[in-house]
Amino acid sequence: MIDVDDVLESAQLKNEKVREYVRYWAGITDPDSIEVVSAADDARLIRECLDAGEIVPAGDGLYYSRSYYKDTARSEERTIVATSDPADKGVYNNWRPAAEMKEKLTGLMRGASAGKTMYVIPYLMSPPGSPLERYAAGVQLTDNRSVVLHMIRMARVNVEHINNLEDQGSFVRAVHVTGDLENLGQGTPEDERYFVTVADERTILHFGSAYGGNALLGKIAHGLRQSSYDGWRSGIFLGEQFMLLGIVDKQTGKTYHICGGFPSASGKTNLAMMLAPDALGDRYHVEFYGDDIAWLWVGDDGRLYGMNPEFGVFGVAKDTNELTNPTAMDSIAPGTQAIFTNVAYNTKTHEVWWEGRTKNPPADLDGWLDWKGNAIADRTDAEADEPWAHPNSRFTTTLANVPNAAPDDADPRGVPIDAIIFGGRTRDREPLIRAITDVAEGVYDGLTLGAEATAAAEGVEGQLRYDPMSMRPFMSYPEGPYAAHWLEVINRATERPIFAHVNWFQRDPEDGHFLWPGYRENLRALLWLMQLKNGEVAGVESPVGILPAKDELNLDGLEIDPADLDTLLTIDTARWQQEMGFRERHLAQFPGLPEEIWAAHRRVSAALRG
Q: Which of 292, 418, 452, 467 binds Mn ion (CB under 5 A)?
A: 292
Q: Which stretch binds Mn ion (CB under 5 A): 13-21, 287-295, 340-348, 567-575?
A: 287-295
| Interface segment toward Mn ion; rule CB under 5 A; list 290-298, 492-500, 539-547, 584-592 | 290-298
Q: How far apart are alpha carbons 277 and 493 in whole angstroms?
A: 33
Q: How many residues does the chain have?
A: 610
Report the distance separating Cα 477 and Cα 291, nearest Å. Answer: 23
Report the distance separating Cα 578 and Cα 365, nearest Å. 50
Task: Please check whether residue 356 is in contact with residue 318, taking contact to mean a CB–CB distance below 8 angstroms.
Answer: yes
Cα separation, 101 vs 175, whole angstroms: 13
Partner from ligand OXD, Mn ion, none contacting 314, C-beta within 5 to 8 A by type: ligand OXD
CA 350 to chain centre: 29
Nearest CB to ligand OXD, comparing residues 264 and 476: 264
Q: Which does 74 bind (CB under 5 to 8 A by kind): Mn ion, ligand OXD, none?
A: ligand OXD
As measured in angstroms, the least distance from the Cβ of 421 to Mn ion is 16
Please, which residue, 230 or 292, has the CB nearer to Mn ion?
A: 292
- How many whole angstroms separate alpha carbon 50 and alpha carbon 268? 32
**Min CB(170)–ligand OXD separation in Å:** 26
Q: Which of 463, 551, 579, 566 is nearest to 516 (CA)?
A: 566
Between 338 and 435, CB nearer to ligand OXD = 338
- What character string, x for contact with Mn ion (CB under 5 A) and - otherwise, covers 235-274? ----------------------------------------
Task: State yes or no: residue 479 binds Mn ion (CB under 5 A).
Answer: no
415 pairs with which residues across the strands? Answer: 306
Distance (Å) of CA 223 to CA 108, 313, 372, 443:
25, 13, 30, 21
Query: Between residues 287 and 292, which has the closer beta carbon with respect to Mn ion?
Result: 292
| Beta-sheet pairing, 433-436 with 498-502 | antiparallel
Cβ count near 166 (within 10 Å):
7
* Side-chain half-sphere exposure of 323, counting CA atoms within 13 A: 7
Which residue's CB is nearer to Mn ion, number 171 or number 262?
Answer: 262
Q: Given the complex with Mn ion, which of 62 and 243 has the nearer CB atom?
A: 243
How many residues bind to Mn ion according to rule CB under 5 A? Answer: 1
Q: Cβ–Cβ contacts within 10 Å for residue 162, how many?
A: 22
Query: Shortest Cβ distance from residue 74 to ligand OXD (Å)?
Result: 5
Give 369's strand partners. 345, 375
Q: How far apart are CA 316 and CA 354, in angstroms?
A: 10
Is the CB of 74 or the CB of 550 nearer to ligand OXD?
74
Nearest residue (beta carbon) to Mn ion: 292
Crossing angle of helices 573-588 and 595-609, in 10° steps, is 160
Give the whole-angstrom CA distance, residue 200 versus residue 432: 41
Nearest residue to ligand OXD, scored by beta-carbon proximity: 213
Closest distance to ligand OXD from the beta carbon of 318 (Å):
13
Measured from the CB atom, the residue of 26 and 80 that comes closer to ligand OXD is: 80
Find the shortest distance in angstroms from Cβ 271 to ligand OXD.
Answer: 14
Rounded Cα–Cα distance for residues 338 and 233 (Å): 36
Query: Quick one: which segment of 152-160, 173-181, 292-300, 336-344 binds Mn ion (CB under 5 A)?
Result: 292-300
**How near is the Cβ of 341 to ligand OXD at its closest, in Å?**
11
Instruction: Please give the residue ranges that form the binding site for ligand OXD (CB under 6 A).
Output: 74, 213, 264, 292, 314
Report, in Å, the least distance between residue 305 CB and ligand OXD.
22
Closer CB to Mn ion, 292 or 351, in the complex: 292
Distance CA 367, CA 375 (A): 7
User: Out of Mn ion, ligand OXD, none, which partner does residue 213 contact, by CB within 5 to 8 A per kind?
Assistant: ligand OXD
Interacting residues with Mn ion (CB under 5 A): 292
